[in-house]
Amino acid sequence: MPGRGLQVACWRGFHCSHTMKYHQRAAATPRRAIMYVPGYDDRKANKAATLTIDSIVLDCEDGVAINKKEEARVNIPKLLARTDFGSKDRFIRVNSRDTGLTEDDVSSILASNNLPDGLLLPKVNSVDDINWFCDLAARNGNLKSLNRPMILGVMVETAIAMLNLKEITSFKSNTFDLQCLIFGADDFLAEIGASKTENAMELMYARQHVILHAKAFGLQAIDMVYNNYKDLIGLQRQAIEGAKMGFTGKQVIHPGQIDIVQESFSPSKEQIEWAKALSIAFEDHQQQGKGAFIFRGQMIDKPLLLQANNILSLINNVNGSHTSS
Amino acid sequence: MPGRGLQVACWRGFHCSHTMKYHQRAAATPRRAIMYVPGYDDRKANKAATLTIDSIVLDCEDGVAINKKEEARVNIPKLLARTDFGSKDRFIRVNSRDTGLTEDDVSSILASNNLPDGLLLPKVNSVDDINWFCDLAARNGNLKSLNRPMILGVMVETAIAMLNLKEITSFKSNTFDLQCLIFGADDFLAEIGASKTENAMELMYARQHVILHAKAFGLQAIDMVYNNYKDLIGLQRQAIEGAKMGFTGKQVIHPGQIDIVQESFSPSKEQIEWAKALSIAFEDHQQQGKGAFIFRGQMIDKPLLLQANNILSLINNVNGSHTSS
Amino acid sequence: MPGRGLQVACWRGFHCSHTMKYHQRAAATPRRAIMYVPGYDDRKANKAATLTIDSIVLDCEDGVAINKKEEARVNIPKLLARTDFGSKDRFIRVNSRDTGLTEDDVSSILASNNLPDGLLLPKVNSVDDINWFCDLAARNGNLKSLNRPMILGVMVETAIAMLNLKEITSFKSNTFDLQCLIFGADDFLAEIGASKTENAMELMYARQHVILHAKAFGLQAIDMVYNNYKDLIGLQRQAIEGAKMGFTGKQVIHPGQIDIVQESFSPSKEQIEWAKALSIAFEDHQQQGKGAFIFRGQMIDKPLLLQANNILSLINNVNGSHTSS
């Protein structure tokens, strides 16, 4: 993807002034769906390259059995070299620190001349894990050849990670650009001994905790996997719920999940129409000296304008970013 | 409102002993509804003065368009001078720190001899914002003429504020008496990119996070605005829900919302009857040496007595505080 | 219960490697139900001894009226001496620090040669309260006669405790082995001025906050009391909900609640069958080099295996631990 620079802008528009110091990194590149593909599996990777999806993740971690780990980490640079993934963001997910496999992953993947757009570090428990990984990558890879920081996503999937989330999400570095906070719900549920239910009420706290921390530091917040890949109605319900909560995207595990997820994280026609009309009405009332006014039965003031602006920015990003490279 | 001293008491009664150090400031003045009135709008202010409502807020911030800001801050002291708001708490909401307008607000408002009962500082992101504001007010206003600390309410409406909430709510000063923590849901939703839904499930974490921090430090917790001012059934549902969660009051944006909100934050007849009967039964059983006993199908011990005492204290405050000045 | 050593194992199996440093203390002893019995009440204690329940708590605190406190603390050592509680865990709940009664409780109870298996400290607000209690116990009791640390459970029931929960749950000592974090919902509701509703939505944040902190440090998380002891359907619904959220057990206040609660915190036949089948399928697929695969309509990878392993470990513990002493 030659010439693809770092796309960084604040999609929240003018609203950001007072917190700009916290989220200069907020990414305008939409990542409504990110799909995992086992790093050794050329067939699935080639298929993925043909799909309309914002991001793909070539996986070395949980989607790869222990006896395929070496094959995956050797195959991924070749995949990146020969496959045209179009405008998709190409991430690689390495194995987590506790496995002892991360160093081999990094050596193989970052030594290549075909670097991905970003890296995902799973099972991050503390900012110390991120620092450890960045040091490892700096020692082993050829990141210096990049004319930009490497995009980084971190996955939080343990109880202790949730308790350390403020320091995790406020991570800063010159070499890595932390853009995504990804919620690994299945590992999290396993660790806290919980069971996934229909409405995922047992994850209410954790999901909103993740959103809150991501947004406080301008990161994208990526929601949990919906495991039952045949249940598209349940998928849609959960995706829309996540979007309304403030997630910016969702992990997918099957091509059949992509369209529903990407649509759920895009503004609807009704939302766009409402946002445009409100934006005009707000401007009119400001000129008349009215800070608050009634619009379609709701009392409107600046915060609702900001919500409208969010919708308009999002639709611009979704339409613009994946046709430009 | 001459002679109105600082009303400070712990409405939790004897329960407080072990945490008294944290909430000496807990206010007994009920603030079940607080209503915003644009600071430049004499007609609305005069109307508000005639209403039965616990608190009004003369607004310089989001209810006032940018070209009316000066008019609002000049008009407010005149309004306070000539208008009899009865026993209502009179707050002024200044513009937030990031706007660059706060200093002018403070200069105009606090230079007056007609000081309000309290000030609301919106979009507080950290305790540093509160300290900055208090310094500003001390330099510019005539707070020293007061024989009491100025009552302060802070609004939290950003993600970073939620992460800094413990230090915000534990703020202490000799000049300002922090009594209210107000949740600005619409700005918060805009910042985290969320959408308000019917049951507001996307705000579950944030609302309960606000209540928890407020109550840990003896502050009143004031719930979100219900924007659809014509939907009184929805308003009532959300107000009752907030009251049951532990909020002590709710922001309102229209006179038609006041009665429902104030009623929702007052104990019902059934609750009062239950509380009185339980209180008597508890005393009886204590004298018989029973710490736990069965009352109307429930196993009762001290914590349920405390809930009964809350109800009885609340009804006393509501009946008493607004007839005394 | 001679010869009963400290049962410490990680029921999460191999999943723990990366967080083992945080929860070496995770207890394998199931405490699905813990029931309070007033410390002065021999009849109830004798009855409790005959019941099939994981843990009983001889109470000095809220279940004991103020004029029975002395009787309770004197009676408890005698009860422990003469009563065979079988394999049950025997806890004693002392009065909280703020009452001024704890020292007398400790002097009476820990001076005895008939020590309980564990102590419960209620209304803990900070780790300082735990340290204070441990010092008190070390000075007054004969804990040195034990060949193991004393098991400790702490109850959190105030707003400030929730804000200090990370430091509370990371408490460590050589003399006490913190194993249980118990949520005192009724006191908590009283303090935050909330009201218990049918679905307990007002406690969503607090309950999941407790679970998260307990699990981050390897503690058991014990859910709230269901006060309406005649409503077994409501009890079951709440117990199952708590188990699915990640609680490991629940407080009970009536013998009629025990069976439903213990069953709710045990894996169902369907869960056990699913877990066994998935475990076998996972192993097969690993050998074929597949890290992710489809099983009964779900995409499975390592996290779901961990959930299956949890179920299998739990059923082993429940079957094993209470027949061995």
> Any alpha helices (H) in chain B, and if so which ranges?
42-50, 69-82, 102-110, 127-140, 159-163, 165-169, 185-192, 204-216, 232-245, 258-264, 269-287, 302-321
Q: Residue C13, exposed/middle/buried by CB under 10 A (0-12, 13-18, 19+)?
A: middle
Q: Using alpha carbons, list the distances in angstroms from residue A80 to A105, A108, A113, A140.
A: 15, 13, 10, 19
Mean pLDDT of A108-121: 92
Chain mean position to CA B21: 21
Q: Which of A65, A118, A117 is nearest to A95 (CA)?
A: A65
pLDDT band at C300 (very low <50, low <70, confident <90, very high): confident
Q: Is the dihedral of CA B4, B8, B9, B10 positive or negative?
A: positive
pLDDT band at C318 (very low <50, low <70, confident <90, very high): confident
pLDDT value, residue B142: 79
Structure tokens at A129: 């894990």
B197 touches chain A (CB under 8 A): yes
Which of A244-248, A268-272, B234-238, C40-44 bottoms out in mean pLDDT, i.e. has the lowest? A268-272
Tell me: pLDDT of A66 over 80.
yes
Contacts of B225 (CB under 8 A, 6+ apart): A299, B185, B186, B250, B251, B252, B253
Known binding residue C93? Answer is yes
Furthest-apart CA atoms within chain A: distance in Å: 70
Query: Which CATH fold topology does C31-264 show?
Result: TIM Barrel (3.20.20)
pLDDT value, residue B12: 29
Phi-psi label, residue B296: left if phi above 0, alpha if psi -120 to 50, beta otherwise: left
ipTM of predicted complex: 0.87
Helices A204-216, A185-192: axis angle to 10 degrees equals 130
Q: How far is C139 from C228, CA to CA, in rounded Å?
A: 40
pLDDT band at C113 (very low <50, low <70, confident <90, very high): confident
Chains with at least 3 CB pairs less than 8 angstroms from chain C: A, B
Q: Do C292 and A157 touch (CB under 8 A)?
A: no
Q: How far is B88 from B77, CA to CA, in rounded Å?
A: 16
Mean pLDDT of B243-268: 96
Tell me: pLDDT of C1 over 80.
no
Q: Which of C43, B276, C29, C215 is nearest to A191 (CA)?
A: C215
At A84-95, the pLDDT tens digits run 999 999 999 999
Write down the number of H helices and E strands in chain A: 12, 10
Q: Do A246 and B192 touch (CB under 8 A)?
A: yes
pLDDT value, residue A99: 94
Chains with at least 3 CB pairs less than 8 angstroms from chain B: A, C
Structure tokens at B65: 């368009």
At C206-223, the pLDDT tens digits run 999 999 999 999 999 999
Q: Residue B294, exposed/middle/buried by CB under 10 A (0-12, 13-18, 19+)?
A: middle
Name every chain B residue with its beta carbon within 8 A of the beta carbon of C252: none
Name every chain B residue with its beta carbon within 8 A of the beta carbon of C190: 12, 15, 303-304, 306-307, 309-310
Q: Do C248 and A193 touch (CB under 8 A)?
A: yes
Q: How far is C16 from C22, CA to CA, in rounded Å?
A: 9
Q: How far is C172 from C174, CA to CA, in rounded Å?
A: 7
C205 touches chain A (CB under 8 A): yes
For residue A100, the chain C residue with the least C-alpha distance is C18
At B149-170, the pLDDT tens digits run 999 999 999 999 999 999 999 9
Structure tokens at C189: 């509701």
Q: How far is C239 from B47, CA to CA, in rounded Å?
A: 52
Tell me: pLDDT of C134 over 90.
yes
Catalytic residue numbers of A read: 301
Tell me: pLDDT of C290 over 90.
no
Chain mean position to CA A158: 18
Q: How far is A76 from A63, CA to CA, in rounded Å?
A: 14
A31 touches chain B (CB under 8 A): no
pLDDT band at C298 (very low <50, low <70, confident <90, very high): confident
Which residue is associated with the tokens 């992101």? Answer: B125
Between A42 and B269, whose confidence is greater? Answer: A42
Q: Do B18 and C123 touch (CB under 8 A)?
A: yes
pLDDT cut 90: percent of chain B above it: 70
CB atoms inside a 10 Å sphere around CB A205: 24
pLDDT band at C122 (very low <50, low <70, confident <90, very high): very high
Residues C161, C126: contact at Cβ < 8 Å? yes
Which residue is associated with the tokens 């809930």? Answer: B307
Q: How far is A13 from A312, CA to CA, in rounded Å?
A: 10
B97 touches chain A (CB under 8 A): yes
At C143-153, the pLDDT tens digits run 888 888 999 99
Which residue is associated with the tokens 């209502």? Answer: B88
pLDDT value, residue C7: 26
Residues A305, A278: contact at Cβ < 8 Å? yes
Average per-residue pLDDT in chain A?
A: 87
Q: Which of B113, B116, B95 is nearest to B104 (CA)?
A: B95
Residues C47-56 as b/e (b if ≥16 CB within 10 A, e otherwise) read: ebbeeebbbb
- Binding residues of B for substrate, by number, are 93, 157
Name every chain C residue with its beta carbon within 8 A of the beta carbon of A224: none
Which of A1-10, B169-178, B314-323, C247-256 bottoms out in mean pLDDT, i.e. has the lowest? A1-10
User: Which residues share a beta bridge with C222?
Assistant: C182, C249
Between C291 and C169, whose confidence is greater? Answer: C169
For residue A229, the chain C residue with the least C-alpha distance is C298
Q: Do C65 and B212 touch (CB under 8 A)?
A: no
For residue B267, the chain C residue with the least C-alpha distance is C195
At B24-70, the pLDDT tens digits run 334 468 999 999 999 999 999 999 999 999 999 999 999 999 999 99
Apex B255 CA angle, B254 and B260, nearest 5: 100
Q: Measured between CB atoms, which of B19, B243, B287 is closest to C125? A: B19
Q: Is the dihedral of CA B193, B195, B196, B201 positive or negative?
A: negative
A63 touches chain C (CB under 8 A): yes
At A207-224, the pLDDT tens digits run 999 999 999 999 999 999
Straight-line distance from the first to the last Cα atom of chain B, in angstroms, rounded to the nearest whole number: 7
A301 touches chain B (CB under 8 A): yes
Known binding residue C157? Answer is yes
3-state secondary structure of B152: strand
Q: How many CB pairs under 8 A join A and B?
A: 128
Q: Using alpha carbons, list the distances in angstroms from residue B74 to B58, B68, B95, B316, C207.
A: 12, 10, 14, 38, 48
Q: Do A65 and C303 touch (CB under 8 A)?
A: no
pLDDT value, residue A264: 96
Tell me: pLDDT of B222 over 70.
yes
Name every chain B residue with its beta carbon within 8 A of the beta carbon of C254: 299
